[in-house]
Amino acid sequence: MFKKILIANRGEIACRVITTARKLGVATVAVYSDADRDARHVALADEAVRLGPAPSRESYLLADKIIEACLATGAQAVHPGYGFLSENEDFARRVEEAGIVFIGPKHYSIAAMGDKIASKKLAKAAQVNTIPGWNEAIESPERAVEIAQGIGYPVMIKASAGGGGKGLRVAFNDRDAFEGFSSCRNEAQASFGDDRVFIEKFVESPRHIEIQVLGDAHGNVVFLHERECSIQRRHQKVIEEAPSPFISEATRAAMGEQAVRLAKAVNYQSAGTVEFVVGKDQSFYFLEMNTRLQVEHPVTESITGIDLVEQMLRVAAGEKLPFAQADIPRKGWAIECRINAEDPFRNFLPSTGRLVRFQPPVQTMHAAETVPAGGGVRVDTGVVEGGSIPMFYDSMIAKLIVHAPTRMEAIARMREALNGFVIRGVSSNIPFQAALLAHPKFQSGDFNTGFIAEHYAQGFQAEDVPHDDPSLLVALAAAAQRRLLERAVGISGQLAGHGVVVARDFVAVVLGTAGQHQHLPVTVDLPPGAASSPDGLLHISVAGKTYAVAQDWAFGGIRASGQVNGQPYTAQIERLGLGLRVAHDGRRIDVQLHSPRAAELLKWMPYKAPPDMSKFLLSPMPGLLVRLAVVPGQKVLAGERLAVIEAMKMENILVAAADGVVGELLARQGESLSVDQPILSFA
Give the CATH number of the domain where residue 591 resides. 3.30.700.30
Helix, strand, or coil here: 91? Answer: helix
Is 209 a residue whose pLDDT tops 80?
Answer: yes
Same-domain status, 520 and 591: yes
Q: Would 193 be classed as within a structural domain? A: no
CB 295 within 8 A of CB 228: no
Is 27 a residue whose pLDDT tops 70?
Answer: yes
Q: Would 83 be classed as within a structural domain? A: yes
Q: Would 225 be classed as within a structural domain? A: no
Same-domain status, 28 and 59: yes
Same-domain status, 525 and 594: yes
CA 452 – CA 460 distance, rounded (Å): 10
* Mean pLDDT of the 462-485 span: 91
Domain that holds residue 27: 4-103
What does pTM read for this prediction?
A: 0.85
Q: Would 53 be classed as within a structural domain? A: yes
Q: Would 30 be classed as within a structural domain? A: yes
Strands 635-636 and 641-647: unpaired
Strands 616-618 and 650-655: unpaired
- Per-residue pLDDT tens over the stretch 271-303: 999 999 998 888 899 989 999 999 999 999 999
Q: pLDDT higher for 518 or 464? A: 518
- Per-residue pLDDT tens over the stretch 388-401: 998 889 889 999 99
- Comparing CA positions, the residue from 331, 128, 315 lying closest to residue 224 is 331
* Mean pLDDT of the 435-455 span: 95
Domain end marker among 548, 567, 602:
602
CA 79 – CA 14 distance, rounded (Å): 9
Same-domain status, 32 and 97: yes
* CA-atom Rg of the chain in angstroms: 27
Q: Is 604 exposed, middle or buried (0-12, 13-18, 19+ CB in 10 A)?
A: exposed
The pLDDT value given to residue 164: 67
Q: Would 181 be classed as within a structural domain? A: no
Q: pLDDT higher for 393 or 306? A: 306
- Comparing CA positions, the residue from 85, 485, 53, 148 lying closest to residue 292 is 85
* Mean pLDDT of the 339-344 span: 94
* Mean pLDDT of the 464-492 span: 92
For residues 79, 85, 89 and 95, what is the CA-based torsion angle, rounded to 10 degrees? Answer: -50
CA 100 – CA 286 distance, rounded (Å): 32
* Mean pLDDT of the 474-497 span: 92
Q: Would 392 be classed as within a structural domain? A: no
- Least confidently predicted of 8-17, 59-68, 168-177: 168-177
Same-domain status, 590 and 634: no
CB 403 within 8 A of CB 329: no
- Comparing CA positions, the residue from 193, 162, 203 lying closest to residue 180 is 162
Cα distances from 524 to residues 26, 49, 574, in angstroms, run 58, 59, 19
Provide the domain count of the chain.
3
Domain end marker among 602, 625, 655:
602
Q: Would 672 be classed as within a structural domain? A: yes
Same-domain status, 531 and 621: no
User: Mean pLDDT of all residues in the chain?
Assistant: 93
Apex 436 CA angle, 207 and 281, nearest 5? 20
Same-domain status, 481 and 562: yes
User: Among positive and negative, which fits the CA dihedral 256, 262, 265, 268?
Assistant: negative
Same-domain status, 593 and 628: no
CA 680 – CA 683 distance, rounded (Å): 10
* pLDDT-based confidence at residue 608 (cuts at 50, 70, 90): confident
- Residue 651, domain CATH: 2.40.50.100
**Cross-sheet strand order for the sheet of 650-655:** 650-655, 641-647, 623-628, 672-673
Neighbours of 490 (CB within 10 A): 8
CA 66 – CA 50 distance, rounded (Å): 10
* pLDDT-based confidence at residue 161 (cuts at 50, 70, 90): confident
The pLDDT value given to residue 600: 95
* pLDDT-based confidence at residue 532 (cuts at 50, 70, 90): low
The pLDDT value given to residue 674: 87
Is 84 a residue whose pLDDT tops 80?
Answer: yes
CA 358 – CA 397 distance, rounded (Å): 10
CB 290 within 8 A of CB 275: yes
CA 438 – CA 456 distance, rounded (Å): 14
The pLDDT value given to residue 116: 72
* pLDDT-based confidence at residue 342 (cuts at 50, 70, 90): very high
* pLDDT-based confidence at residue 89 (cuts at 50, 70, 90): very high
* pLDDT-based confidence at residue 165 (cuts at 50, 70, 90): confident
Highest mean pLDDT out of 109-113, 400-404, 608-612: 400-404
Same-domain status, 528 and 627: no
**Terminus-to-terminus CA distance in the chain, angstroms?**
68
The pLDDT value given to residue 250: 96
* pLDDT-based confidence at residue 534 (cuts at 50, 70, 90): low
- What are the residue numbers of the active site? 288
Q: Is 363 exposed, middle or buried (0-12, 13-18, 19+ CB in 10 A)?
A: middle
406 — alpha (psi -120 to 50), left (phi > 0) or beta?
beta
Is 665 a residue whose pLDDT tops 80?
Answer: yes
Please state, for a pLDDT cut of 70, what percent of the chain lies above it.
99
Same-domain status, 21 and 83: yes
Please state, for a pLDDT cut of 90, what percent of the chain lies above it.
76
Q: How many CA atoms lie within 13 A of 428 on its CB side?
A: 28
CA 430 – CA 445 distance, rounded (Å): 20
For residues 363, 364, 370 and 375, what is the CA-based torsion angle, rounded to 10 degrees? Answer: -120
The pLDDT value given to residue 117: 74
Same-domain status, 594 and 479: yes
Same-domain status, 476 and 592: yes
* Mean pLDDT of the 408-422 span: 98
Is 204 a residue whose pLDDT tops 90?
Answer: no
Is 360 a residue whose pLDDT tops 90?
Answer: yes
- Least confidently predicted of 448-452, 561-565, 650-654: 650-654
Domain end marker among 602, 624, 648:
602
- Residue 36, domain CATH: 3.40.50.20
